[in-house]
Amino acid sequence: MSDAPLLELIGVAKSFGAAKVLSGINLTVGHGEFLTLLGPSGCGKTTTLRIIAGFERPDSGKVLLRGRDVAGLPPYKRDVHTVFQHYALFPHYSVFENVAFGLRIRRLPEAEIQARVTEALALVKLAGFADRRTTALSGGQMQRIALARAIVGRPSLLLLDEPLGALDLKLRRDMQLELKAIQRRLGIAFVYVTHDQDEAMAMSDRIIVFHQGRIEQTGTPAEVYHRPRTSFVADFMGSANILSARLLRSYEGCARIRVEDEVEFDLPREEAPPALHGGELCLAVRPERIHVRYEEELPLRGDCVSLPAVLTDTVNLGDETQMFLSLFKKSAKTVVAASMDARHQTERQDGTPVWVDIRWKDILLLEPPPVG
Amino acid sequence: MRSKGLQAYCFGLYAFLYAPLAVMVAFSFNTARRNVAWKGFTFQWYGALLRDAELARSVATTLELAVVASLMAAVMGMLAAYAMTRHAPFKGRGLYSALLNAPLMMPEIVMGVGLLSFFSRAGVPLNFWSLACAHALIALPFTTASIRARLLSLKESSLEDAAMDLGATEWEAFLQITLPLARPAIISGALLAFTVSFEDFVTSFFIAGIGIVTMPIKIYSMMKFGVTPEINALATCLLAITIGFLFIQRFLDARSRLN
């Protein structure tokens, strides 16, 4: 039993009436792991969390907690606690009683309750707040109380549902670091739901990207960012230029690609392109990986593709300059390049012919989005 | 001008609504026996009220009824509201909720006749308790609506989920979270139920058994001999009590929304 993962979902599906919310969700959470469920709103990540907590019962599939199926058990029979999106602090209790709630339900001795609540409040840096009313606290303080209340019972798994969603940006950044530090210190596994990819990148050991009730990709933040498997993931994690492409021929270590049914080039690569549906695939390039070169400049050195383009617009965003480029004659699709280089900040006239250099390794070949 | 016309309309409307009450209050302090001319100021009719033993008994009966009926309506309203807000949508929930509200829409005379024929068919004696049950029935929509609104907003805040998540059973979560937080709404609903029972005439008139005289019935029988200053004084007292109740109820409602 001890080598079973802490939590495992196998083939979990859930519908609300006619709406299919989750289909075939498989995931594992290791002991002490920080796992993030990432996706746009309505993608099923919160429902997954509620199934793990026991508030929803899956229509099919298994929820194994240390190898034991708990899919039919109510929330109070699982040693899994939740930090709710809007904190859900009990307004008629003091801060101390809020944190003590779970311990009182378990009828622990008073001395132990005192000690553990005091310890938990100190951990979230609210040691002096025990006797306050929760209704008089700021959002950040309520968030800390909610966290203290959830960890005081020492669960093996903590679920967090967009816990920083209601905080302003500056406080969010601070709380991200602090949450991560607390998680490391306690060694409790976190399952963290968010729609903010920066937050997911900053905190997680692993990220699971959800889209329309399915898992799009699972991996470390670096894997998901640098090697997205689908166009949805590429676009959701940061931004990406997504172009339609077709694989014409595949030689040993080299693929001939036709982009937007117009521009062709050879792309040497080691791994085979993803599973294809009749050669159709998606090509993605991140804006910051596109090097824009004026005619008088030397090409990028090394393994790259060089394509002619026309500069259609330039937008200055302080440090960063965004350049809109037209690469294709038939397709109206523009490509966005982003650069921190000062030489792009001097205005170039729209319509200037330029070269676009992209390194082979920065060209991502992806599964096309499912049709329909 | 538009606003002039509106002002005049509003003034006229409020005069129509409140002039009778003002006249009634004024004449309760009138020394004259007849409600025709103002003769002088007196408290004597209030004194007469206090000395009227029969009236005092009817007031006591009415208060006892209102207390019992509002308690019953509060308990049943809590259960009904909990069933409608907390459990997975069950079959016929719409019908259930419509039936609960039916006594609001139903002409009281229909309720009265229906209850009377039901009680006599079923062999239920017409006494204090059957009347209390009838009052609880009329008051139930008020308590249910008040408590239901509160439970819905509580559900939104996931407080009960949080309690169960921390190890509380549904029953423990109900006792420690739902019930204390719903208390203002329960009291507010019970106060409404109290006033509904307190002033009910039609239903009571049909099913009050022999010997049960509620205050509205007593007033009705007093009126057979004309509207006396005693009745004015009694109605004035009732008015004061009702306004007091309304204030308490509004205060509790506002507080239950704030938290």
Which chain A residues contact residue B164 at CB under 8 A?
54, 74-76
Chain B residues close to A101, C-beta within 8 Å? 163, 166, 168, 176
Query: Average pLDDT of A299-324?
Result: 85
Q: Which amino acid is at A249?
A: R
Domain ranges of chain A: 7-233, 239-366
Residue B79's nearest CA partner among B158, B129, B147 is B147
CA dist A7 and A63 (Å) reads 7
Give every CB contact of residue B178 below 8 A, 6+ residues apart in sequence.
B82, B151, B154, B159, B160
Model confidence pLDDT, tens digit, residues B215-229: 888 888 888 877 788
Q: Which helix (DSSP H) or strand (DSSP E) does residue A246 occupy? A: strand A241-251
> Which residues of chain A make contact with B172, given a CB cutoff of 8 A?
105
Residue A152 phi, psi dihedral angles, 5° rounding = -65, -30
Statement: residue B82 has pLDDT above 60: yes
The residue count for chain A: 372
Helix axes B93-105, B128-156, angle to 10 degrees: 130
Q: Which of B159, B168, B181 sits opposite A105 (nearest CB)?
A: B168
**In this structure, what token pair is assigned to residue B122?**
């079923």
Between chains, do B161 and A82 touch, taking CB under 8 Å as contact?
yes
pLDDT, tens digit (0-9, with 9 covering 90-100), for B89-119? 677 778 888 888 888 888 888 888 998 999 9
Strands A157-161 and A189-194: parallel
CATH topology for A7-233?
Answer: Rossmann fold (3.40.50)
The 10s digit of each residue's pLDDT in B185-210 is 999 899 989 988 988 888 898 888 77
Report the pLDDT value the prediction gives residue B2, as an integer from 0 to 100. Answer: 67
pTM: 0.79
Determine whether the interchain pair B166/A101 forms a contact, defined as Cβ–Cβ distance below 8 Å.
yes
Mean pLDDT value across residues A11-19: 91
Whole-angstrom Cα distance, residue A268 to residue A226? 18
Q: How far is Cα A51 from Cα A64, in angstroms, rounded to an integer?
A: 11
Residues of A in contact with B259 (CB under 8 A): 91-92, 135
State residue A276's pLDDT score: 59
Contact B163 A135 (CB under 8 A): no
Model confidence at A271, pLDDT cuts 50, 70, 90, reads low
**C-alpha dihedral sign at B37, B42, B44, B45:** positive
Residue from the list B165, B169, B170 with its beta carbon closest to the beta carbon of A81: B165
Q: Which CATH class is domain B53-258?
A: mainly alpha
DSSP character string of A299-343: PPPSSEEEEEEEEEEEEEETTEEEEEEE--SS---EEEEEE--GG
- Tokens encoding B11: 């003034």
**Measured on CA atoms in the order A100, A101, A102, A108, is the torsion positive or negative?**
positive
Distance CA A357, CA A185 (A): 45
Inform me whether the pLDDT recorded for A2 exceeds 60: no
Residues A293 and A348: beta-carbon distance below 8 Å: no
Look at B157 and A88 and tell me if their CB atoms are within 8 Å: yes
Residue A122: is its pLDDT beyond 90? Answer: yes
Average pLDDT, rounded, for chain A:
88
Residue scoring higher pLDDT (A215 or B93): A215
Q: How far apart are CA A88 and CA A108, in angstroms?
A: 23
pLDDT average, residue stretch A12-16? 93
Give the pLDDT of residue A224: 92
Distance of CA B201 to the CA centre of its chain: 12
Q: Is B170's Cβ below 8 Å from some Cβ in A?
A: yes
d(CA A365, CA A357): 17
Which helix (H) or strand (E) segment is A251 a member of? strand A241-251
The answer to whether B32 and B20 are in contact (CB under 8 A) is no
Token pair listed for B185: 């709404």
Q: Is the pLDDT of residue A258 over 90?
A: no
Q: Under an 8 A CB cutoff, do A135 and B259 touch?
A: yes
Radius of gyration of chain A (CA): 25
| Domain ranges for chain B | 1-42, 53-258
A252 confidence band (pLDDT: 50, 70, 90): confident
Over residues B71-90, the mean pLDDT reads: 87
Token pair belonging to A339: 């650069």
**Cβ contacts of A90 on chain B, cutoff 8 Å:** 159, 162-163, 177
Contact B157 A149 (CB under 8 A): no
CA atoms of A175 and A166, how far apart (whole Å): 12
Predicted local distance difference test score (pLDDT) of residue A278: 65
Q: Is the ipTM of this complex over 0.85?
A: no
What's the CATH number for A239-366? 2.40.50.100
The CA-based dihedral angle spanning residues A176, A182, A184, A188, taken in that order and rounded to the nearest 10 degrees: -110
| pLDDT tens-place string over residues B13-70 | 999 999 989 988 888 888 887 777 788 888 888 888 888 888 888 989 999 999 999 9
Q: Do B166 and A149 touch (CB under 8 A)?
A: yes
Lowest mean pLDDT among A4-13, A353-362, B99-108, B123-132: B99-108
A357: closest CA among A325, A332, A334?
A325
pLDDT at residue A1 in the model: 46
Q: How far is CA A142 from the centre of its chain?
A: 24
Go through A137-166 and write b for each residue having 16 or more CB atoms within 10 A of its CB, e for each that does not: beebbbbbbbbbbbbbbebbbbbbbbbbee
pLDDT value for A184? 92
Q: Is the Cβ pair B162, A92 closer than 8 Å? A: no
Share of chain A above pLDDT 70, in %: 96
